Amino acid sequence: MSTAVAERPSVEAPRPRDGQEPRAGSMVWSSARRRFGVWALLLVVAYLVGMPLVRLQGLAFEDGAGGYDRALATVGLGELIWRTVYLAFGSMAVAMVLGTLLAYAASRLPDRAGFLRSVPIVPIVLPAIAMVVGWAFLLSPGPGYLNAALRQLPWWDHLESGPVDVYSLPWIVIITGFGLTSFIYLFVSAGMANISADHLEAAHVAGSSGAGVFFKVVLPLLRPSLIYGAGVGLLLGLGQFTAPLLLGTNKGIRVLTTQMYFSTSQFPVDYAAAAALGSPLLIFGVLIVIAQKIGIGDQTRFVTHGGKGAVRRQRPSRWAAVFIAVYGLVAVVLPMSGLLVVALSPYWSSSIDPSSFTLANFRTALDSPNIVESIVTSLVASITAVAIVLPLGYAISTVLLRRRGMPIARTLLDFLVALPLGIPAVIFGAGFLLTYSEPPVVLYGTRWVIILVYVTLMLPFATRMMTNGMLALGTSYQEASWVSGASRLRTHLVIMLPLLRGSIGGAVALIFVLLTHEFSASMLVRSPTTQVMGTVVYDFWSNGAYPTVAAVSIIMTAVTGAGVVAAMSIGGRDVLSKL
């Protein structure tokens, strides 16, 4: 169309672009291209996230909903559901109390003890399976080290075993609660940051004690984050898999997730019933995600401009530091020590004999081709998944942050991306198992099915971290590049990527950490020849090879720890709180 337009009079300086006057692009064409890109992205995400869930339900409804019929006929179904709910509410309650107290304590840490602030987050980045195994080594009724120590006490010295039985529902709840505490801590800390120190100082000046301030001012002001945190805690509690599987299996204490697993792995294998058993968790997860999307709405509303004002901290308290330190000892150091002692001992018994400590277990582990291969698979799958999910998350964030156009596509994308947060990993694992062990795409038995399920599980994290980075950067850097004449692609490569390198580096390390100790979904999609570290630990655990379990758990923790150190050195000390 520009050919029809008369050449305008030339100006005094010779124009560098003579003869290549920009041609007017058609609105239809350029927007069609963009639309195509967005729909293609949506299709990829829908296939990754939606397909497994659709296949699961399809199977459950096959043959006149036969899956549902058999699931409803499960022996002790009522008790199964009751236990699941008990686990969810119980662990949520434990986590709410501990997480809130820890967040309050963290806000009152003295300056010198500032490093303690990241202690409550450590359980997130440590492999859950290692922690659970560590607790079992401590609190197993017979040879558990802590139980043995407790039996020295005068009022328990008559006991043969106990007094604590870690293989019981209450202790499964408590140990799960420890794991969830970190999440509640993150939510409540975020809410705490919004409470001005003035409110609290006013209460102190008015004569309230520390406890009075906590109950009468802090808790009421925190109500929104507490409610939100409780919702998330409940959701996570419902989907818990690791502790019930490792601790509950012996005594037949099953919950919905473990029952699903056994339906897919033990005779009689019944995928349809497993799919049906997962439905309540699926529906609850979807509802929570929808509620959260409606509640939060448009992300761009939360852009804040300018730096934060000087944050005045509350009166520091030494008790705050003591409380967090004790929590760290109990929740992290204790189970890790249990692991370490077993890993160094020739066999697991109630007495600790330092003179017999040996590295033989590590040597055995690293000599075993299965274990070495599982470590390699874990690393390769995690790294590949990171390499796939981050560009995907970047693209999704770019689309979601666009303020106008294609509202339906953007809403769908936003919803789909959030689903893996709401729906338990076990369900995704089952869905992937089902989708990729049948044509058209048969990936079962290869690393690719693990990689794909990892990509799917990490979509929300990758998208959230990229979105936060882009929101913090604002739009003017890229607009300045566009008006300078740079294409969209070039702007992403030359301007956005370098400016986002901090966020990207932090995201790489964090997602890597979360993936190296992924357990729940891996249990479902693994095959005898394709194992990851967590699944190998479980197999040795089932066979009673405890010293090997401990050694592999320690190796797993070391790999994760290296990732955490990398994350903190790239993304800064606060990187863990960006979850």
Q: Please, which residue, 19 or 369, has the CB nearer to other proteins?
A: 19
- Is residue 148 at the binding interface for other proteins, with CB under 8 A as the rule? no
User: Min. distance of Cβ 413 from other proteins in angstroms?
Assistant: 21
- Is residue 404 at the binding interface for other proteins, with CB under 8 A as the rule? yes
Four-residue CA torsion sign, 556, 236, 464, 396? positive
Cα→Cα distances 347→285, 537, 554, 569, 573, Å: 42, 16, 16, 38, 38
Site residues for other proteins, window 498-517 (CB under 8 A)?
A: 498-499
User: Min. distance of Cβ 471 from other proteins in angstroms?
Assistant: 15
3-state secondary structure of 229: helix
Distance CA 435, CA 519 (A): 19
Q: Retrieve residue 67's tokens.
A: 């899956």
- Is residue 304 at the binding interface for other proteins, with CB under 8 A as the rule? no
Site residues for other proteins, window 41-80 (CB under 8 A)?
A: none
Distance CA 341, CA 329 (A): 16
- Is residue 377 at the binding interface for other proteins, with CB under 8 A as the rule? no
| Cβ-Cβ contacts under 8 Å for 457 (sequence gap 6 or more) | 420, 425, 428, 518, 521
User: Min. distance of Cβ 4 from other proteins in angstroms?
Assistant: 10
In one-letter notation, the amino acid at residue 566 is A
User: Min. distance of Cβ 240 from other proteins in angstroms?
Assistant: 43
- Is residue 35 at the binding interface for other proteins, with CB under 8 A as the rule? no
- Is residue 479 at the binding interface for other proteins, with CB under 8 A as the rule? yes
- Is residue 3 at the binding interface for other proteins, with CB under 8 A as the rule? no
- Candidate ranges 25-33, 90-98, 225-233, 456-464; the one touching other proteins (CB under 8 A): 25-33
Q: Judged by CB under 8 A, how many residues of this single chain contact other proteins? A: 39
For 225, counting Cβ atoms within 10 Å of its Cβ (0-12 exposed, 13-18 middle, 19+ buried), the class is: buried
In order, the DSSP letters of 151-193 are TTSGGGTT-SS-S--TTSHHHHHHHHHHHHHHHHHHHHHHHHH
Mark 438-477 with x for binding to other proteins (rule: CB under 8 A) and - for no binding: ------------------------------------x-xx
User: Min. distance of Cβ 29 from other proteins in angstroms?
Assistant: 9
- Is residue 300 at the binding interface for other proteins, with CB under 8 A as the rule? no
User: Min. distance of Cβ 488 from other proteins in angstroms?
Assistant: 7
- Candidate ranges 62-70, 89-97, 195-203, 495-503; the one touching other proteins (CB under 8 A): 495-503
Which member of 13, 73, 75, 205 binds other proteins (CB under 8 A)? 13
Four-residue CA torsion sign, 314, 304, 461, 254? positive
Which member of 6, 205, 294, 311 binds other proteins (CB under 8 A)? 6
Question: Left, alpha or beta for 351 (phi > 0: left; psi -120 to 50: alpha)?
Answer: beta
Q: Please, which residue, 181 or 481, has the CB nearer to other proteins?
A: 481
User: Min. distance of Cβ 293 from other proteins in angstroms?
Assistant: 21
- Candidate ranges 20-28, 134-142, 343-351, 372-380; the one touching other proteins (CB under 8 A): 20-28
User: Residue-wise over 298-315: b if at least 16 C-beta within 10 A, else e?
Assistant: ebeeeeeeeeeeeeeebe
Q: Please, which residue, 11 or 311, has the CB nearer to other proteins?
A: 11
Q: Is the peptide bond before 163 cis (omega within 30 degrees of 0)?
A: yes
3-state secondary structure of 530: strand
Residue 501: other Cβ atoms inside 10 A = 12
- Is residue 408 at the binding interface for other proteins, with CB under 8 A as the rule? no
- Is residue 401 at the binding interface for other proteins, with CB under 8 A as the rule? no
Which member of 291, 326, 480, 565 binds other proteins (CB under 8 A)? 480
- Is residue 574 at the binding interface for other proteins, with CB under 8 A as the rule? no
In order, the DSSP letters of 418-469 are HHHHHS-HHHHHHHHHHHHTSTT---TTSHHHHHHHHHHHHHHHHHHHHHHH
Q: Please, which residue, 252 or 307, has the CB nearer to other proteins?
A: 307
Which member of 487, 529, 542, 543 binds other proteins (CB under 8 A)? 487
How many Å from the N-terminal Cα to the C-terminal Cα in the chain? 50
User: Min. distance of Cβ 507 from other proteins in angstroms?
Assistant: 18
In order, the DSSP letters of 286-353 are HHHHHHHHHHH--GGGG---SPPPPPPPPPP-HHHHHHHHHHHIIIIIHHHHHHHHHHHSSS--SS--
Q: Please, which residue, 37 or 474, has the CB nearer to other proteins?
A: 474
Q: Retrieve residue 546's tokens.
A: 């405890």
Residue found by looking up tokens 């309230």 in the block: 208
Which member of 153, 488, 493, 569 binds other proteins (CB under 8 A)? 488
Binding footprint of other proteins on the chain (CB under 8 A): 1-2, 5-6, 8, 11, 13, 15-17, 21-28, 30-31, 404, 474, 476-477, 479-488, 490-491, 495, 498-499
